[in-house]
Each structure stands twice: as structure tokens, then as C-alpha cells.
Copies of this chain bind each other. A is one copy, B any other.
Amino acid sequence: MARTTDEALALWLKRLALRSELDEAERQAILGLPGEAVAVAAGQDFVRVGERVDHACLIVEGLAARFAQLGNGQRGVVAFHIPGDMADLHSVVARQVTWALQAAAPSRILRIPHAALDALATEHPRLAIAFWRDCIVDANVLAQWTVNIARKDSAARVAHLLCELFLRYRAAGLSGYDFFPFPITQVMLADAVGLTPIHLNRVLKRLRDERLATKDLYEIVLKNGEGLVALGEFDPAYLQFPDTTPKRPLDL
């Protein structure tokens, strides 16, 4: 189960290659990136607001959440990063940290020096484009979250998020046929969909009772993909995966 840092770089390469064509030299350059492996305990912040960072964080194993802390102690989660995601690739061009990163579960990350990423972008201009594009996809996901939270009811928000995460894990090759690992508490998941933990719990109960999906501390199991797609009004276009145009988005 223990993933090596080499495997994590390969996962990131796979993610980049989903949206950008890369030649052999570019691929080797990614795979040859240096980095410092760091273990992070669940609940621990590994990037803090206000810092200036000189490295980006590749998620090797576990799960990371990008979030803001509000005055009254509330939190807003604005992104989840799964293994193979460069959680703060944007920091390469915006070093002042405005969003904290926290491990939602025991995780391992690889700290990749900005210097190395800068060098790659300079030497391989098409990699610079690929990096930029990767950030655009993250922004697309965020825009979709905004719409979901602003205009859909609690069950639709959760259903939509589950669809999104399933496809992202599957694109990374990390999902099973009808499940994906998602080691997170209900409290943090609630922070990502803009609900109280209590109400999220009731929504999860409803999804369970209606045989749509189940969640425990470690994973999500999808029982009825079409039902989730319908409930969440899910259309995967915003994820910018290669255009396979399947009839059913989740294709279970």
C-alpha cells in the first residue's frame, strides 16, 4: 500500500497528461523532479496562511484540504487534494500563502522546490502551459463548488461532490469499481459543502437510506451512480477530462 515518491510523481504526470500532451523529454523531466518527503499527521496544517513558501506540495498518500479559518472559528474548505495532486502548484507564481493546507487523514507529501519547477517551466515551455492549465482545472472545480453551494440544496451538493471525487480518483487510477478511498470526518466534509456537521449527517443518512451511496471514515461506496448524477445535476465537463462523451457520466 505504501506509495513511493516516484509513484506519486508518476501520478502527477498522469494527471498533467490527461489535459496536456507531453513528449518523452517532458515526461522524464517531471519524473526526475527532486523533493523532500514529509509525513503529516491527521489534522495537521502543513502550509500556513501568511507564510512565504519556496516549495510546492505533492500529495503522495492520504488527503489534503485547502481551507480558510473564519473569525468565529468556522472553517471553509475550498479544495480537496488527492494523491497525485500538486496541492499548491499556484504557489510557484504566488508565493504568499492565502489558504492553509491541512491533512484530513495521515498523509505523506513531497515538497518540491519552486526552483526545480521554475527550471522545468523555463526549459520546457510546454510544461509551463501544462502547469498553468492544471491550475485552471482547479479553478474550474472551485467555480463548480461555488455554484453548488450557492444554488443547490444540501443533498444535491453532497451528491455532486461524490460524483466529482469518484471521477477524480478514477482518473488517477485510485478508485475501485464502485468506491473510492476518502479518509475524512463528517465535520470536515461539512465544511466543504457549507453545511453543519449535524445536517450533513442527516444528508448522509438519506443517501444511505435511498441506496445512493454510503460513507465511513475510510471510503465512499457508490450504490447508484445514475441516481447521484441526477440528484446532484452532475455534468463532468468542467473537469476537463479527455472528451470520451459517455452516455452516463459515472459509467458504473
Contact = CB atoms under 8 A, between A and B. Distances in A.
A74 interface: yes
| Total copies of this chain within the assembly | 2
A240 to B, nearest CB: 6
A68 interface: yes
B135 A128 contact: no
Interface stretch (A2-10, A22-30, A105-113, A141-149): A141-149
A218 interface: no
Nearest to A97: B237
A233 B72 CA distance: 10
A1 interface: no
A195 B175 CA distance: 36
A147 B152 CA distance: 16
A135 B138 contact: no
A125 interface: yes
A194 interface: yes
B147 A76 contact: yes
Contact of A146 (B94, B137, B138, B149): B149
A22 to B, nearest CB: 14
A186 interface: no
Contact of A151 (B129, B138, B152, B194): B194
A202 interface: no
Interface string A145-174: 111011110000000000000000000000
Contacts of A78: 143, 146-147
6 contacts: A19-B94, A93-B133, A94-B240, A98-B240, A131-B132, A149-B149
Kindly list the 3 A-B residue pairs having the minimum CB-CB distance in the complex, ordered from nearest: A150-B194, A76-B147, A139-B139
